[in-house]
Amino acid sequence: MNDLGGINLKVSIALVIAWITTALVLWKGVKIIGRVALFTSTTPYIIIAIMFIQSWTLEGHTKGLDFYLLRPDFSVVFKWETWKSAVTQNCYSLGIGFGGLLSLASFNKKNHNCFRDAMLVSFADGFMSIFGGVAVFNVLGFMATRLNLRINDVVQSGTGLAFIAYPEAISHMPVPWLWALLFFVMLWLLGVDSQFGLVEVICTSLRDQFPSLKKYEGLLVFTTCFVSFLVGIIMTTKAGIFYFTVFDEYSASLGLIVLLLLEITLVVFVYGCANYIDDIRMMFGQPKNLLGKLFGPSGWYIKIVWLTVSPIFATAILIVTIMSTFTKQMTYGKDDRKYSYPTYAYTIGWVLSLLPLVAIPILIWFKVHKFKKEGKSMRELFRLQPKWPSYKLHSKNRAHSVLPGWLANIIGFNDNRSSLYMDSKF
């Protein structure tokens, strides 16, 4: 990390192309994202299906399948690090906590069936994770057989799997250039498609917070992409992989889990689960049968998960994440090429972890200052705001109770449960 070693030209060109592509697509607006996503989101499924079928024809594929699915090591289930990794992977895979789902969903019509979308995407994502995992480990089993190694010696994680182990396995396959082309096209499409959504989060948030920016939409998109490109330049140096690993380890771990817990707390315990259920029923109507009452968008299953399962799991994972962040020892490579990170790398990591949380006190100050300027009381910060779509639904009872949403839910003050609310931006 101390010696950047100059720019890697190939990687820097790839970075430029990625950000130009993102800027051009977002410049055209959300509608073009939807059209582009029809290609960028579905093509990887076709490619992984082709690779899945081909992987079953390889010698030794059963060795990889046993390691991955049929005879796994269940002892890792009892390690907290496994659950932390699983939560982080789910957040990445489904886009939970990053704001992309909220930003893009805000462009939907009010009665759009987002519950159906969430269920379909969750099941499809889980299925494709297993489906794609079988394809990957079949190929790694083939590689272990060809090189006469144990499967443990072939398997790597993260970038090692995507850019070292799997490409090396492909090089031993028939027509290697074809499989390499399909594999890296798939990675490119998955990466750039995710980038569209994450950058749109920033642009949408800034436009919503500062409405005056809406007339400079193109400039906002290009500025956001350019700043992000500048941040990424350090990763195009010959020491870039070390900086990339620090970003990868820290940027979406502690901060992400804290934000998830705050999201659950604000929606369920401050705004109030009962109020939120009312909003959902305003969108989708009342449950029409027993199945809907149990597992529908406003059913008991959803309530139980929001009120108990999600907060408990999020709190437990937060504790584990804090502990692992304090005890983390970062290395790269292995054996004679093992690199131990310097002390300042951990400082960079902590800054990356805590940086997203800085927005919270800043926006608190911003809202307090704004409300004082408008002559509103601080109590109004915790009330339903007129600009919210649910204002009319709850406004008739909003002045009659002084109980916060979570307490109203617990003691059953359902008639007056619209008492105290957090402003969404607060």
pLDDT of residue 418: 35
Residue 38 assigned ligand-binding role: no
Joined together, the tokens standing for residue 258 give 């804290």
Full DSSP string of 147-186: HT--HHHH---THHIIIIIHHHHHHTSSSHHHHHHHHHHH
Q: Please state, in angstroms and as integers, the Cα–Cα distance from residue 87 to each residue in 27, 74, 100, 296, 302, following that order.
A: 33, 18, 17, 24, 19
CA dist., res. 101 & res. 94, Å (int): 9
Tokens of 217: 């939409």
Lowest mean pLDDT among 122-126, 232-236, 258-262, 419-423: 419-423
**Range picked from 37-51, 299-313, 369-383 for highest mean pLDDT:** 299-313
| Cα gap 211→166, rounded to integer Å | 47
Q: Residues 294-316: what's their mean pLDDT?
A: 90
Higher pLDDT, 400 or 247: 247
User: For 217, how many CA atoms within 13 A lie in the half-sphere containing its CB?
Assistant: 12
pLDDT bin (cut points 50, 70, 90) of residue 15 is: very high
pLDDT at 157: 64
C-alpha distances (whole Å) from 57 to each of 60, 143, 205, 296 are 9, 13, 48, 42
Q: Could you tell me the residue ranges of all domains in the chain?
A: 1-238
In Å, how far are 49, 132, 149, 161, 333 from 139, measured between CA atoms? 14, 11, 14, 11, 22
Q: Is 419 annotated as a binding residue?
A: no
pLDDT-based confidence at 31, cuts 50/70/90? low
Helix or strand (DSSP H, E) at 340: strand 339-340
415 is in an annotated binding site: no
User: Residue 29 is encoded by which pair of tokens?
Assistant: 């607006």
339 sits in which H/E element? strand 339-340
The reported pLDDT for the residue numbered 420 is 37
Cα 65 to Cα 70, 196, 286: the distances in Å are 6, 34, 46
Taking 80 as the threshold, does the pLDDT of residue 104 lie above it?
Answer: no
CA-CA distance, 273 to 191, in Å (whole number)?
35
pLDDT-derived band of residue 304, with 50, 70 and 90 as boundaries? very high
Share of the chain above pLDDT 90, in %: 13
pLDDT at res. 421:
35
Residue 346: Cβ within 10 Å count: 18
Band the pLDDT of 271: cuts 50, 70, 90.
Answer: confident
Burial of 337 (0-12, 13-18, 19+ CB in 10 A): exposed
Lowest mean pLDDT among 76-85, 120-129, 355-364, 401-410: 401-410
| Distances 187 to 43, 47, 52, 79 between C-alpha atoms, Å | 11, 10, 15, 30
Dist. CA 338–CA 331, nearest whole Å: 7
pLDDT in tens, 225-237: 999 999 999 999 9
Helices 176-209 and 43-55, interaxial angle, to 10°?
A: 150
**Hey, which residues does 237 pair with through a beta bridge?**
7
Provide the mean pLDDT of the chain.
81
Mean pLDDT of 176-195: 85
pLDDT at 381 over 50: yes
Residue 10: per-residue pLDDT: 92
Q: What is the mean pLDDT of residues 209-232?
A: 90
Q: Are the beta carbons of 402 and 412 closer than 8 angstroms?
A: no
Give 382-412 pLDDT, tens digit per residue: 777 777 767 777 765 544 343 444 444 443 3
Percent helix, percent strand, percent coil in the chain, to nearest 5: 75, 0, 25
pLDDT at position 156 is: 67
Confirm or deny that 194 is annotated as ligand binding. Answer: yes
| Percentage above 70 pLDDT, the chain | 90
> How much is the pLDDT for 30?
63
